Structure 1
């Protein structure tokens, strides 16, 4: 698994280059130092010592671009430096490259690299300390080997830890993205249900009227067909807008404003065409409502009128929308005959209206009236804590 390049990669590469030059300079400095105590003294050509130091240190500069080759080159340089007694501390560069290997390379490749590095380091240190340098003992060589393994293993462990943290962050981001996609799909499903249900209900009513009066009152049938045509066109327009968010590329749907309070008159007129006498009252401050609440009010009224047309027409219906700084109140009542189809709790229409109300921290109720008919009531607080519907 490779992580995407981040905007500050150029700065990281600059830091790697600086670290590589610093490590190389330190190793080259060791190559020119005379022997003192236990510090090894390199007696070969200076150019050869500098070359070995460069092979051991410079791979740090390219460890992010080529992690495994960089680790191999640094390991080769460290082995040469150890066996030639240039320095017994050339393993920091290998630890840095192993950190990057653990961070960016799949485990099936990274684990063999670590195993090879540990085995090679042990062989080189034991050979250099206990065989080529007679003054050292095997116990001392084993101690140096343990320190080298600690450096290499520490770099590896740090890479594994950072990789795990990044994977967890990526998983959390993926879950957030999936949740957002699911929420958007549910929103689109609610929008499509509201659009299609409202339009098809009116179309079904008018189609029945047209079929019933086609022979006796053809003019009335023509009027019904005209309503069907207008309703179909309006539903298609709204559906294209709702589905526009699913499009990709440059041919995206135009960002038309979402329906709000201004479209309530049109909803009432369509319901009247479906045989419902609608009395619409809207009392809202001149400043209007937030777009999300206005859309929720529109959809609640739309679904309520759709149910009235579908289950109660012909009937009278009163729609009242009132708002104050504290809340928005929506009440829709009709005097139609009792129809249990409207009262089923699993219906998508009532469920969708309830979800829209609760999304803003509001309340919703719907049910038959004691005096006959049906009532829908929603309260949406305007305290700004609700989510956009």
Structure 2
């Protein structure tokens, strides 16, 4: 008896590229780096050991036993396994072994370039992982050590000056490359930290502007209504109650706006749409509560959906801040807010016929915040008293490049 059942489809075999690609595109962990260094140390020791054993000396040079050659080769290569942990110590050990090997003839003078691989790797690590103040003297001391060995064994191959040049060729390029890599990494780190600080400062500034606009507007209305309630509390309790209800509603709205602003800082917070051009009529009704008659005129030459959300929010905040200033400094007064939406920009103009004191030469936090918002969009902003009395705030917010 046989049954038919669902068979799991065979998973295609991973290719070498699929397996190795993640390893080559991410930063290796410390344990993986030590494994790589250990493999490199064995490889270098395995190359130098047979090389020293097979290289024949000239003119009656030293013929050492095979085990000595292998031991010298691995003594040059194996310290590389811990080059990241003790870079200067490893460089000094490798340079000392190379010096002894050259002086004793285990490595013939004409094969002096053979230890150069291990010496170069060690001094690259020294320059990358230590400061210049420490790595440069270490490199100079080991260069002197290797140069002495080369000078003593040079014979007819090179002079004393040539020995120093030969040693410098073994050490200096590797150290210079390591130093350049260290400087590039330090520069990248500084640039990354600068970008993080800049992003944090911009976010703080954005939150500050939002909180200022929300709190200043609602508190101005609350203060006005609280003053009304206090004034008529005994003579007209009904009007005082109405003022308190307005205070309650305004406070609830402010609390919602503050929660929305602060909630945007959390990654898991649900998205809440920011106020825009469609919320301007509600803003005008709130201003009327504070004793300011706002005549709102929104002229649309372009559908509201075509205006970016950030531009709509900026236009809303400019009208809100301008109306709040009227409530605080010029109320009761008549105020006219005109918002014109064109295919390329949004123009905002808020005027009032009240009288207000000009404080700080137009450098209040509200005016600064409005100017910063407009500047972020590459627009123009102007605020100042009118010749016939009152105040005018104008802003132009481009949002689409010219075709």
Q: Same fold (TM over 0.5)?
A: yes
Matched residue, 1:209: 228
Matched residue, 1:79: 99
1:258 equivalent to 2:279? Answer: no
Matched residue, 2:87: 67
Matched residue, 1:43: 63
Alpha-carbon offset, residue 71 of structure 1: 2.3
Alpha-carbon offset, residue 274 of structure 1: 0.5
**Cα distance 1:27–1:86, how it changes in 2: closer, same or farther (>3 A)?**
farther
In the alignment, the residues of structure 2 paired with residue 120 and residue 353 of structure 1 have an alpha-carbon distance, to the nearest angstrom, of: 68
**Cα distance 1:318–1:348, how it changes in 2: closer, same or farther (>3 A)?**
same
Q: 1:271 aligns with which of 280, 284, 287?
A: 287
Deviating more after overlay: 62-71 vs 353-362? 62-71
Three-state SS of the structure 2 residue aligned to 1:280 is strand
**Cα distance 1:137–1:74, how it changes in 2: closer, same or farther (>3 A)?**
same
**Cα distance 1:30–1:194, how it changes in 2: closer, same or farther (>3 A)?**
same
- Number of residue equivalences: 369
Q: 1:351 aligns with which of 359, 362, 368?
A: 368
Alpha-carbon offset, residue 376 of structure 1: 1.9
Q: 1:224 aligns with which of 243, 251, 257?
A: 243
In the alignment, the residues of structure 2 paired with residue 288 and residue 202 of structure 1 have an alpha-carbon distance, to the nearest angstrom, of: 32
Matched residue, 1:92: 117
Matched residue, 2:4: none
**Cα distance 1:52–1:299, how it changes in 2: closer, same or farther (>3 A)?**
same
In the alignment, the residues of structure 2 paired with residue 367 and residue 123 of structure 1 have an alpha-carbon distance, to the nearest angstrom, of: 81
Alpha-carbon offset, residue 73 of structure 1: 3.9
Q: Which runs of 5+ in 2 are unaligned?
A: 1-24
Q: 2:335 aligns with which of 295, 317, 331?
A: 317
1:52 equivalent to 2:72? Answer: yes
Q: 1:104 aligns with which of 129, 136, 143?
A: 129
Q: Which runs of 5+ in 1 are unaligned?
A: 1-5, 131-135
**Cα distance 1:286–1:210, how it changes in 2: closer, same or farther (>3 A)?**
same
Q: Equivalent residues in 2 for 1:1-389 (5 A)?
A: 7-9=26-28, 20=41, 23-35=44-56, 37=58, 43-64=63-84, 66-87=86-107, 88-89=112-113, 90-107=115-132, 109-127=134-152, 129=153, 136=155, 140-244=159-263, 253-284=269-300, 285-335=303-353, 337-341=354-358, 344-383=361-400
- Are the counterparts in 2 of residues 33 and 42 from structure 1 also a CA contact under 8 Å? no
Alpha-carbon offset, residue 291 of structure 1: 1.5
TM-score calculated relative to the size of structure 1? 0.83
In the alignment, the residues of structure 2 paired with residue 245 and residue 147 of structure 1 have an alpha-carbon distance, to the nearest angstrom, of: 63
In the alignment, the residues of structure 1 paired with residue 265 and residue 86 of structure 2 have an alpha-carbon distance, to the nearest angstrom, of: 39
In the alignment, the residues of structure 2 paired with residue 69 and residue 343 of structure 1 have an alpha-carbon distance, to the nearest angstrom, of: 65
Alpha-carbon offset, residue 277 of structure 1: 1.8
RMSD: 3.1
Runs of 4+, deviation exceeding 6 Å = 10-15
Alpha-carbon offset, residue 113 of structure 1: 3.1
